[in-house]
Structure 1
Amino acid sequence: MSNAVIYNITPITFRLDLKDPFLFTAHHIDHFPAANADMGPKTAAEKDEFNMYYGDVVPGFPEHPHTGFETITLVEQGYVDHFDSLGNGGRYAAGDVQWLSTGNGVEHCEMFPLLHEDKANPFELFQIWFNSSAEQKAHDADYKMFWREEIPHVFETDSEGKKSDIRVISGQFKSTDAISRPPHSWAAAAENKVNIYLITMQAGAELVIPSTTSSSNRFAYFYQGNTLEIEGQTIQMKHLVELQSDADVHLKAGGLEARILWLEGEPINEPVAMRGPFVLNTTEELDAAFKRYRETHFGDWPWPSPAPVFKRDQARFASYEGGKRVEHPEQENSQAS
């Protein structure tokens, strides 16, 4: 079926290969069992049965470096404990988003504590690797939490009364603006039109996504449901669709609730040199960054192990400025209400 709005359709198992300003997105899913006393899996399953189990006890990714880009982590199920070489830490969970600008270098770890001892601990997140301009790569690392209580939702109802929920993670949907991005992000400037949405559509619901600029790159990842129609063409679950950016796009969910990750933005249009967890502009810059990391580790690691976690009963929170400033979203939301 010919469709001028759809450029490519790609089946996805784990990694979504994207275009400037996006590098790629990883869709992590693990079906962790009930927890033991140490917040690891209670069963004796082999670690290689899981996708995200690099710690010795608790699943996750122990201490590792990054430089030159941003990670945008959208949690759909489970918990994440964050620690970094700036002395910051925190716990975030389903519905929260962490936006980390790695700038000129940072070490961090992302651990996934299993908090429930009496039931399974399913885990799911998206991690978007989002590029930075050469100027932004030179800034100090920084991060910001987007708490689920604060992320704006747009609720649309179609002519049949069926509803769609658009979580606006970045940019704007119609007249609704997202939370401001970190200041040294390509996504911070409105003219770069970096729109990131998590869309949930009732079965049979219809929704129109407005056009953006003709120079933007645009993708839809259909990750949950049975089928999704895009401009009348049927898309199967776990397929990535590259789309025309300067056209309104009509979506219709199939017989089950549909969930879509929507990504679009103006390209940075600078050379990309990528080696493992470092993303710079030239091979020479990569060589220099690896040399600097070997010599400095991007600062001292201030935590007692490469894979620390908080206590099981720790509520969601985030610390900034080396721990000098702390946010407690549940407390703040309770006080506000």
Structure 2
Amino acid sequence: MGLFGRSNNSGPVIKEQAAALHWDTDDPFLFASHHLDNYPKGNERQAPPYEEVKRKDQGNDYHKLFGYRMYTGRVTPGFQLHAHWGYETVTLVSKGYVDHFDSLGNQGRYGYGDMQWITAGSRYHHCEMYPLVFQDRPNPQLVTQIMINLPLKDKNTPVEITTVWKEDIATVNGDGWKATLLAGSLDGVTAKVPHSTSWAADPAHHVRIMKLDMEPGAVFTLAPSEAGTRNLYITETSAKVAGKEYPAGTRLKLKPDAEVPIEMLSEPSEVWILEGDPIGEKQCQWGPVVLANNAEVRKANNEVREKELENWNWEYVNQKQPLGTGRFYRAADGTESRPKEPETGE
């Protein structure tokens, strides 16, 4: 398989592409990332050993030296203060925890099956740190983040943030597989999109974001869809799609109107499905900004740089929750939510 090649058969696969840490997508999606890191035992700073961290590329570590990445974190892994403007992020934490702090005064900790949905129509700053909460065992981390574009009419609208606990996320169980629906429907079950501004909120746009957890030998048949685009991502192990075996870290661009059998082979793993109708508008993107044209994007990026700390009322740009903190979300107005399920760390 080439880096990005057109399929040689007449089946449901249109193109094949390598997809490991970062995934290419089709409109209405902008980008996706899949972070799998084998973090060691944590210390009192919820961080890896200093002896390892000091050997990494401080503030820009995307190499798996010692089996993990620090990303932009310098003490604790994760993503220090950064901006979003003009699009949405949908983040599912399959393993581990994420500590969230933002420029609006919201904060929280979510993980182990929880989702965070941020609709950042206008300028928004936050940090997402990966605390190593366990000091008696390793801290494996698996985070998948999907970025969805917004139509021009919804740019520069107020920011909306929702944390959805694992117990409230729509799921469907089958023979050796479990589907987790962040958007869209399957077998009569429909996910609730938390923000009406989202392109995914209107069923007419046929957006589906679905994670499939599959056991070895399990088969899931993806039914034809009315969506304009459809992509499948094979993550940690190889899988067979439409009768052909593909290696781990593969993106398949699929014909939406075709039936596609998916078979997991020797090991359990996740498979992701992203589909939806394109927004179909000419837009401009640079850095953390997606707006109408180059002039708007330049102006917005200047504002991001100039006002990055203007509303940052936290002590650090890599703020994290205290050691021993459970999962919660606290809005700037003081309202708080917590999951009903007890903390298990698994």
TM-score, normalization: structure 2? 0.89
The C-alpha deviation readout for 1:207-258, integer Å capped at 9, x for no partner, is 1112211x51111111133x32212122222111110001222112223224
Q: Residue 251 in 1 paired to residue 258 in 2?
A: no
- Residues 105 and 298, structure 1, Cα contact 8 Å, conserved in 2: no
CA distance in 2, matches of 1:291, 1:149: 41
Write the letter of the residue equivalent to 1:292: E
Aligned to 2:298: 287
**Where do 1:4-153 residues align within 5 Å?**
4-42=11-49, 44-45=51-52, 46-48=55-57, 49=65, 50-153=68-171
Write the letter of the residue equivalent to 2:335: R
The C-alpha deviation readout for 1:10-53, integer Å capped at 9, x for no partner, is 12232111110111111112221111111111351123334334
From the superposition, tell whether residues 53 and 11 of structure 1 become closer, same or farther in structure 2 (CA, over 3 Å).
Answer: closer
From the superposition, tell whether residues 42 and 218 of structure 1 become closer, same or farther in structure 2 (CA, over 3 Å).
Answer: same
CA distance in 2, matches of 1:87, 1:47: 31
- Residues 29 and 125, structure 1, Cα contact 8 Å, conserved in 2: yes
- Residues 174 and 210, structure 1, Cα contact 8 Å, conserved in 2: no
Write the letter of the residue equivalent to 1:170: A
- Residues 39 and 138, structure 2, Cα contact 8 Å, conserved in 1: yes
3-state SS of 1:86 partner: coil
Percent identity at matched positions? Answer: 31
Q: Residue 223 in 1 paired to residue 235 in 2?
A: yes
- Residues 44 and 323, structure 2, Cα contact 8 Å, conserved in 1: no
Q: Gapped runs of 5+ residues in structure 2?
A: 1-7, 58-64
CA distance in 1, matches of 2:107, 2:90: 16
Residue 330 of structure 1 is aligned with which of 340, 343, 346? Answer: 340
Aligned length: 325
From the superposition, tell whether residues 251 and 120 of structure 1 become closer, same or farther in structure 2 (CA, over 3 Å).
Answer: same
The alpha carbon displacement at 1:298 in A equals: 8.3
CA distance in 1, matches of 2:309, 2:188: 40
- Residues 11 and 242, structure 2, Cα contact 8 Å, conserved in 1: no
Which deviates the most, 291-300 or 263-272? 291-300
Write the letter of the residue equivalent to 1:272: Q
3-state SS of 2:297 partner: helix
Q: Gapped runs of 5+ residues in structure 1?
A: 158-162
**Where do 1:299-318 residues align within 5 Å?**
300-318=311-329
- Residues 66 and 107, structure 1, Cα contact 8 Å, conserved in 2: yes
The C-alpha deviation readout for 1:123-170, integer Å capped at 9, x for no partner, is 12111121111122221111111211111211123xxxxx21111111
The alpha carbon displacement at 1:304 in A equals: 1.3
TM-score, normalization: structure 1? 0.91
3-state SS of 1:187 partner: helix
CA distance in 2, matches of 1:302, 1:132: 28
CA distance in 2, matches of 1:210, 1:67: 34
Q: What's the C-alpha RMSD, in Å, of the aligned pairs?
A: 1.8
3-state SS of 1:224 partner: coil
